[in-house]
Amino acid sequence: MVSVPSSILSIGTALPENRVETADVVVLAERLWPRLATVARAAGEGSPTRYLALSLEEMAKPRTINESQAAYFDHGRRLLTKAIGEALGHARVKADEIDLVISTSCTGYLCPSIDAHLASDLGFRPDVLRLPITELGCSAGTAAIGFAHRHLLAHPDHKVLVAALELPSTVWQFEDRSLDNLIGSCVFGDGAAAAVLGTGSAGLNVEDASSYLVPDTARMLGFDLRDGGFHLVLNARLPRILEQRLAPVVSAFTEGAGVGALDFVALHAGGPQIHDAAQAALGLEPELLDPTRQTYKRVGNISSVSIFFVLQELTSRLDSEPQEGIGIGLGPGISIELLHLRWCPPKVAAS
């Protein structure tokens, strides 16, 4: 079977209205954890701006799981509707033309998933295929694009919508004095994004996708679900693990996919230490990670949503020449999600 590249026809994004600077978070940290204020400043370095569904004052108040769930649903529904509407509009695709919806989120739980709650409002067909993903964390957005690509290989006439929603502010733990929770308050932001994928178009094409699970790392990154809700788990060894394990995984993928010299890289905007580890491991020129670093500075780490903001930033910089690159998602597991991407300007698009 001849592999047909899939095309990212459009990307839509949405941010909540509460804009937060690192200095604001440091003030909150000094109030809650006076002895960790210095750590808060270091953790927030490089992330001057984030957008939160809950204000800092609301975050600093105890909440029940019911209250967190209500905030997740109310804010999430609004943000995701905006992002999906923007993506559909830019792609000039109607909601009833979508054949598969892949939704990702790890900061709230709904059954049925949030796409089911939006289906009637947005106008999806009753027979639309639905694939909700919850436990892939930050890497889920990249994985979802890969799953969409694989679906389009089998059904090239279909249209796929990928939708991501993350609201870390709604699950932040007021009473958790752990370093993990403090760092999370300094790096994570809220937001939503969506992308429409099809085949046979110019623009940013997906040529191949791959997944890799680093053995014996399941406890290094993720969430623990306890009586009070979600509690963030971060391991200080994560950057070191990436420096050791990322290069062979990426090399095997690029060699197998026939990727040449990299013109661009779309890396998950996880934070400065993650960016530095990836740059060192892969021997990348600094400018290749500029879209990722700028995305992080502008909106912080939005978990599975981040890759869409990075791709949006990246495509705004690509010119009229064909270019080749990769997408890298990093998440709990530790999981590494990879995409072989190719920029095909309209003038060189295949017929």
Distance CA 144, CA 131 (A): 9
> pLDDT grade, residue 180 (50/70/90)?
low
Q: Choosing from 106, 111, 138, 344, which is the catalytic residue?
A: 138
Give per-residue pLDDT as tens, 313-348.
999 999 889 999 999 999 898 899 999 999 998 765
Strands 49-52 and 229-234: unpaired
Distance CA 326, CA 312 (A): 14
- Give φ, ψ of 195 to 5 degrees: -140, 145
184-212 in b/e form (b: 16+ CB < 10 A) is bbbbbbbbbbbbbbbbebebbbbbbbbbb
Q: Mention the CATH class of domain 203-346.
A: alpha beta
- Check if 138 is active-site: yes
- The enclosing H or E element of 37 equals helix 37-43
- The enclosing H or E element of 338 equals strand 333-344
Kindly report, as residue ranges, where domains of CATH 3.40.47.10 are found in the chain.
Answer: 6-199, 203-346
Mean pLDDT of the chain, nearest integer:
88
Position with higher pLDDT, 144 vs 1: 144
Answering whether pTM is above 0.85, one says: yes
CATH superfamily of 6-199: Thiolase/Chalcone synthase (3.40.47.10)
Write down the pLDDT at residue 341: 97
Position with higher pLDDT, 239 vs 125: 125
Distance CA 132, CA 282 (A): 32
* Burial degree of 298 (CB within 10 A; 0-12, 13-18, 19+): middle
Angle ∠(307,136,65) on CA atoms, nearest 5: 105
